[in-house]
């Protein structure tokens, strides 16, 4: 069971609170990622401690919960220095937990729904510009003293993130038999992303070529079921190395600090949108569960939306 810093009284009440059942539901049915499960577990256990400090009968406190109680809990989180984003996650976790208890007839979720989610600061994706992304995917941004196979490896990783929209973890999880290859005429990849969600992404010839170039130079044996991308000593390539390589690329290309590995995935989405890609398709390619997550890219590059408007809206054509 995932549980942190729980008081004895809370631990004793957990079976009645159906805490483990709720986590099992999130893992098996909602298929949340482990990091999200850990965060939600911490959030709800903190809320249960908050309730236990005020009422020895936690189930009674949950059954008679009022919005004002939740607001006091969030106010305490502000005093502890929790950011708006953290408090929004706290509330989301509590809503999920209460909704689960509501289905079991043990509590009502309405009090949590009545509490307004903290306003989040505007955080738009900050993609790498197309020229820089292409140079990184071609191996033009590496340390000049790096070994050729390492340059080829880094280029292949960048090509997968920019050319196919993969997360760093998804690119590094590829095995040798799954990696794109010109010889195998790889046209697509089946990727398992966050929460075990599976999607199919198309593979450009340039991506297969980059992976083949790396495979020919890597000095280690690449067994079919073993990691395709290797570190300097032959072990699986670590995400920290990719971040370090990206920092080198920033220096060589004069990129801002926002140019992180994930910014290449952002570039994939925004550049597709700018060139006529539709949001639903981009959502599927990125593996987003919700379209609202993908819609944020329309605020990064509004030119695609304006172009669609001018092309499709009758009044726009008349005004032109």
Nearest one of 2, 8, 23, 17 to 65, comparing CA atoms: 17
Q: Which of 40, 97, 162, 297 is catalytic?
A: 297
CA atoms within 13 A on the CB side of 206: 15
The yes-or-no answer on residue 280 being catalytic is no
Told to judge if 25 belongs to the known catalytic residues of this protein, a careful annotator would answer no
* Cα-Cα-Cα-Cα dihedral sign, residues 275, 278, 282, 285: negative
Which of the residues 87, 135, 153, 167 is marked catalytic?
167
Whether 288 sits among the annotated catalytic residues: the reply is yes
> Shortest CA distance to 285 belongs to which of 120, 139, 117, 163?
163
> What are 147's two structure tokens?
């070994």
Identified catalytic residue from 153, 265, 266, 271: 265
265 is catalytic: yes
As given in the structure block, the two tokens for residue 181 are 């290859």
Residue 309: active-site member = no
What contacts 7, CB < 8 A, 6 or more positions away? 49, 52
Assign 117 to helix, strand or coil.
coil
Q: Let me know if 266 is a catalytic residue.
A: no
Angle at which helix 34-52 crosses helix 67-79, to 10 degrees, equals 110
Q: Which of these is catalytic: 18, 77, 87, 288?
A: 288
Instruction: Identify the active-site residue in 30, 126, 194, 252.
Output: 194
C-alpha torsion sign, points 207, 208, 213, 216:
positive
Question: How far is Cα 140 from Cα 151, in angstroms, rounded to an integer?
Answer: 9
**Residue 133, Cα to own-chain centre: how many angstroms?**
20
Q: 224, 244, 249, 250: which is closest to 232 by C-alpha?
A: 244
Q: Of the residues 199, 262, 266, 271, which is catalytic?
A: 262
DSSP lists the bridge partners of residue 165 as: none
Of 164, 169, 228, nearest to 194 (Cα)?
A: 169
Q: Report d(CA 126, CA 65) in Å as an integer.
A: 41
Residues with a known catalytic role: 167, 194, 262, 265, 288, 297
């Amino acid at each position: 069971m995932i549980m942190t810093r729980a008081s004895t009284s809370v631990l004793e009440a957990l079976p009645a609170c159906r805490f483990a059942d709720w986590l099992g539901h999130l893992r098996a049915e909602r298929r949340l990622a482990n990091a999200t499960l850990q965060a939600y577990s911490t959030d709800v256990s903190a809320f249960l401690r908050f309730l236990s400090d005020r009422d020895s009968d936690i189930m009674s406190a949950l059954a008679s919960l009022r919005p004002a109680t939740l607001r006091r809990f969030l106010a305490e989180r502000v005093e502890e220095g929790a950011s708006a984003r953290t408090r929004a996650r706290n509330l989301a976790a509590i809503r999920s937990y209460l909704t689960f208890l509501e289905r079991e007839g043990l509590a009502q979720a309405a009090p949590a729904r009545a509490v307004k989610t903290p306003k989040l600061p505007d955080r738009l994706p900050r993609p790498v510009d197309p020229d820089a992304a292409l140079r990184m995917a071609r191996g033009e941004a590496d340390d000049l003293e790096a070994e050729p196979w390492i340059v080829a490896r880094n280029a292949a990783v960048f090509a997968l993130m920019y050319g196919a929209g993969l997360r760093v973890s998804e690119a590094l999880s590829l095995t040798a038999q799954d990696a794109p290859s010109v010889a195998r005429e790889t046209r697509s990849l089946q990727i398992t992303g966050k929460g075990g969600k599976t999607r199919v992404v198309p593979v450009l010839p340039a991506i297969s070529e980059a992976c083949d170039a790396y495979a020919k130079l890597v000095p280690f044996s690449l067994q079919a079921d073993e990691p395709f991308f290797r570190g300097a000593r032959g072990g699986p390539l670590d995400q920290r190395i990719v971040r370090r390589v990206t920092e080198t690329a920033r220096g060589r290309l004069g990129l801002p600090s926002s140019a992180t590995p994930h910014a290449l995935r952002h570039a994939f989405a925004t550049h597709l949108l700018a060139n006529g890609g539709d949001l639903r398709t981009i959502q599927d390619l990125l593996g987003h569960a919700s379209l609202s997550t993908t819609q944020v890219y329309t605020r990064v590059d509004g030119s695609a939306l304006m172009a669609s408007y001018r092309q499709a809206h009758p009044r726009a054509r008349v005004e032109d």
